[in-house]
Structure 1
Amino acid sequence: MTLESDIEAVREHAPDTQALYREVCGLMFFRYGETPTANRLYQLVRKGSMSAPAKALRDFWVEVRDKTRVDVGRPDLPPEVATAAGELAASLWRLSNDAASAALDVFRQDAQAEIAAAREQTQALESQRNDASLKAEQAAGSVAALGQQISGLEARLVELQTANDMLNGQLAASKEELAASAAALADARRDFAEELARQRRSHDQNELRLAAAEKRALLEIDSERAAASRARKELQAANERFAALEAEHRSERDALRDGLATAKAGLAASTARCAAIDAQLSEKDALLAERLAAADLLRQRLEAMSRRLDTARAEPAPGRPARRSRVKAEAQGRVSVDFSGGPFVRRASVHKR
């Protein structure tokens, strides 16, 4: 698409003259990269008077300035960012001022060229009118044609005068725009100087804080080094204590191991002795059981003999008194032995472990 086709499309939804001129300014500046001028705007749109594009152009630059203003008034920005932002703003103002000056120069040159051409044409027309007047006196037949030509030239002169007035108005508007641009540039420079001073103060404060932080960091590093040295010494002492404890533990372990081997050997010998003693006790128990059985048998025999003796003592045989007396005396003279009430203690086997 071309600029003219875009302008025709804008005409449909921008019936207001000022809005139309501002839309065309935006198209020329942002889409096609051209710097809009009042003369160029009037040539493209051809709507309203010459003051309309001048006013629309002035409003457009004010709007662009407001939208592209960079606010760097923040104390937490780094100095490089603030400096770059200030340089960018200064560059934009410088470029816009240069573009406006160039456009004004072009406009002035075009206006001067058109004024010179109009003057030359006016002089030529005046000479032609004089010649025509002389010729009108000489040639009455060409009065009507010359009158029409003069009317056309006068109309052209009126148009040129109107264009001259419009150019003068554009020139005045351009001067006003230049004055506004200069005032805005002065404001921007003042804002930039204030911001630069703030950034310098912020930079000095940051340097002071950085020096204090560096001093604190050095103190912390020294304290950490001292703590690390103490920890290293404590670790070395702990390692030495651990080595001593380990050596003592090894000696105790070896002694316990030797004692355990000795105890195991003694236990094996004791176990062998206990086995031998158990065998002897088993033999003695068997022998004791045999003797106890013999003692029981002997006790039974003694009891039987005692009963027979008691029976015989209770029933003496007749005709033999002397013998009975003698047996009775012998029985009285003998000590009776009773094994029935005597305790027989069974010997318990003792197992020594």
Structure 2
Amino acid sequence: MATADLELTDAAPDFERSAALAGDIAALRGRFPETRALYREVCGLLFFRYGITPTANKLYQLVRKGSMGTPAEVLQAFWQELRGRTRVTIDHPDLPEALKDIAAGAVQTIWQAANEAATGELATLRAEARAAASAAEAERDAAHAETARAREAAAALVAQLDTARQAIEAGETALAAERQAHAATQARLEAGRAELEAARRQLAELRTQFSTELERARDQVVIAQERAEASERRALRELDAERTARQQSERLVEALRGELAAARAEARDAAVAQAEARARLETQVAALTEQLTTRLAAADAAARKAADDLATVQAALAAAQRRAERAEAEAALARQLLAELRLAPRERGEGGSVERRRRKAGGPAPSAGDTSSDTPSEPPAKVQGASAPRPEEGGDSSDSSYNEHDDSKD
């Protein structure tokens, strides 16, 4: 019993066995719906398949069906049935009962010893299996780790390979660039060599030209030296002439200094005379300025007087224009009156001729009303007796009379 409890304690943490046990119990629930039969099958499952000693609490925890007394009763019946099966019975008619009991006890002891040995071997095998499983799991974990490391190493190798490929490509690119640069350098080297040969040829030509020009320069130096000597002699002669001219110029300077002193004295005298003349001129200018100021004042007064006279004349002219306008108006009125006076006798003559024609025809004489209506009113006696003057005479006389009247008014 203690060994079974130890095995149960050791097997409890095993997750795989717990999962398998739960699966088997679930299968038994479907096969045995009756509670006691289910508890009995679970007891056999625990004891025979998993090697776990069943207890009432363990059974109830696994099945959880019925009351707490049901698993205890089923467990007691299970143990009684198991004892009956494990009891050895020797049925031999010749053997006495005591010998039968001893033989049965011996067989039972052998069975128990064999059972315990088998249980120990089973525990050993289970431990070995667990150790092998643990070792296999460790190997599996190690294999997984090794695989992961191998994958990481492969990834690192792939990365290194990519890096190497990139480096190779970069190296090839750099090599191609170097080859191009080498070709360009080689071309430049050939061009430099050609330029060097050309420079050598030019140097040889320049040396030849330099030798020729050096000879010419030497000849020119000789000629220049001769010319310099001649120039030196000429310069010495010119220096002698210059000394003579300098002496003459110094004497001339002394003479000019005397003349300059005399000219300065004359200039001082002229300046004094000029100052006196300027003073006289300033006095004359002041007098002339006063005279001009006086004349300008008189001219301003005359201009103001002329302006006053002009204003007076303009006022008189305006009055004369007004009088002329009034005279023209009166002359127009007189002309109108004269025209009316001239028309009155003509109308009277026309009325008399009409009356005479009526009398000759024998018609009635016109009545007083007709006469008064047809004949215009007679003018005053003075006007009727006066003869009508000519337009020229009447106009002139009227204008002169009106002008005299206006003059008398003024």
Fold shared per TM-score above 0.5: no
TM superposition score normalised by structure 1: 0.30
Could you say which structure has the greater relative contact order, defined with CA pairs below 8 angstroms and 6 or more residues apart? 1
Max radius of gyration: which structure? 2
TM superposition score normalised by structure 2: 0.26
